[in-house]
Amino acid sequence: MEEPKLNYVKTDVLIIGAGGAGLRAAIEAHNMGVKVLVVSKGKFPSGCVTATAMGAMLAPFDRQDSIERHVDDTLRGGSYLNDPALVQILVSNAKQRALDLERYGTDFDRSDGKYELFPYTGSSVPRGVLAGDRYRGGFFKGLVKEAAILGIDIHDEIMVTDLLKEGNAVVGAAGLDLKTDTVLIVSAKAVVMATGGAGNLYSLTTNLPGITGDGYALAYRAGARLADMEFIQSRACMIYPEAMRGTPPPADGCVTIGGRFYNGLCERYMGKYFPDKLEQVTRAEMSKSAQKEITEGRQSPHGGVFGDLSGVPPAELAKFKAFVKTCAELNFDPAWQPYEWAPGAHHVMGGIVINERCETGISGLYAAGEVEAGIHGANRLAGNALTETQVFGAIAGASAAAKALSASVIQAPKGSVESIKNRVLHILKRGKGIEPSEVKKEVTRILSLYVGVLRNEEGLKRATQSFSDIRATQIDQLALGAERSFRNFSSLLEVENILLIGEMIAQAATMRRETRGAHNREDYPRLDAEWSKNIVFQLQDGKRIISVKPVNASAPSS
């Protein structure tokens, strides 16, 4: 087999990920006068998670709201594991970032010149700024438009496989160009990681198929720290109608405006768990309650629970145009027909540890969006994710640009490039072996069964042992089969990343012997003040080091 072809590129700032955080970083860096290159694993813009998000960001615009109130809600929702300094930055910048988006071309719902603020669960007052054309890129529209106006260079269908380092500094990245079957080598003065989360570690998820934790794995292998990986937020995820499997019902089932939940016995079961709040609880509480009903045998016909939108005012339901249209195409009327849902993986609260400048502790490497840790603590408030992409995307872009303006381009290290080329060739040449899709299916099954919404010591031990067995007997035997394309190669590498991140989630979940936020231990059902700490992973000298640190103690100083 021929050696893989290499394509060398130079830039000032390389941004890995073309979603909300990545594009906002690109815009900010470009406006500071540096050359920017954005690479996207999926097709741009349709392959980016932000394009499929509901399109709501939280910002304290209302007169009865305030920065202090939004901060308090965010910290309380995160069970006070959030980094308070990062939360303060999030909320203090939220309004300006929403105004930026509107200036770029995103259309937010307004009435009489004011934003129509949506009442999300977990927020003490309405503060959800909603974009039009929900779930179909309405929020994303302004970013895409502004990036095009500025002429920002975006290459899609590039899976980044390695960060290039010179000493302790990141000086670029290497990846697979899935369209041309070439290896892309990018030399850069600064790199921003904006790859999103890891929903596809689980069998049921709201995430697009390519969201497999790549950014966490890349940063970890480069020496960055990961924290809070045990906190995986689930949310209502449709399982019937079958064609809408994985679709989140609008606004968590519109529970703040008339939506209701029922089990397979037609009982409004939330009254058992939260008699005063009923359905108006956080996503973690919502998921935990539904999973109990399912596990204890009171499930709907397709293995979930029922969502009922008949109590939602027709005018409000009609605002979710994409959802209503898709239902209509399936001859399903959500105004009177119940849908079925189960908790599906939605958002990773943990990730790369950053400071107030989005620095990771690795010179030249920055992180923004869902790939970062610290903002959401143990559980994220609905709507804070898109706010996070805009606030910290802008900060990461500015920090990376400042770094680039003071640095000179370092050539991609020849030794690293040669090593990457040899690894690609080795795997492409590998003969018979194990099909990656089978291993992926098994890893996601284990995580869903033992490290999902409800966890206990026995299940977590089974998961940890299973992952150890897979790593020992299967991971080095993965092979591409007859079609040795880079697209198939990327699927193999995704499995390696899924296993790596799955191991960390299981390890952290085993260590945290309490219930807090999205982490539910059946054998330790109460919050333990002694566990007001972050669990941190770091690769040192080839070994995984796990430490437990007080909140905010792990943030890099430079």
CB 538 within 8 A of CB 373: no
* 54 has a pLDDT exceeding 80: no
- Cα–Cα distances (Å) from 530 to 9, 548, 553, in that order, read 49, 11, 15
Helix (H, G, I), strand (E, B) or coil at 538: strand
H or E element in which residue 366 lies: strand 365-367
The region, left, alpha or beta by phi > 0 then psi within -120 to 50, assigned to residue 409 is: beta
Coil, strand or helix: which one is 542? coil
DSSP 242: G
The answer to whether 378 and 78 have CB atoms below 8 angstroms apart is yes
Q: Residues 129-162: pLDDT tens digits? A: 988 776 677 888 999 999 999 999 999 999 999 9
Helices (H), 321-456: 321-329, 384-405, 414-429, 436-450
Give me the pLDDT at residue 118, please.
Answer: 87
Query: Average of pLDDT values for 483-499?
Result: 90
Write down the pLDDT at residue 406: 92
N-term to C-term CA, the chain: 45
Could you tell me which residues are beta bridge partners of residue 235? 344
Q: pLDDT-based confidence at 44, cuts 50/70/90? A: confident
Taking only the tens place, the pLDDT of each residue in 322-380 is 889 999 999 999 999 999 999 999 999 999 999 999 999 999 999 999 999 999 999 99
For residues 45 and 144, is the Cβ–Cβ distance under 8 A? yes
Q: What is the pLDDT of residue 304?
A: 94
Q: Please write the tens of the pLDDT for every residue from 85-110.
A: 999 999 999 999 999 999 999 999 88
What local confidence, expressed as pLDDT, does residue 552 receive?
79
Strands 117-118 and 128-130 turn out to be antiparallel
- Residue 64: pLDDT band with limits 50, 70, 90: very high
| Assigned token pair, 358 | 């989005």
DSSP classification of residue 478: B
Would the pTM of this model clear 0.85, i.e. be above it? Answer: yes
CB 279 within 8 A of CB 286: yes
**Using alpha carbons only, what angle is made at residue 227 by residues 224 and 231, rounded to the nearest 5 degrees?**
145
For 433, the 3-state DSSP assignment is coil
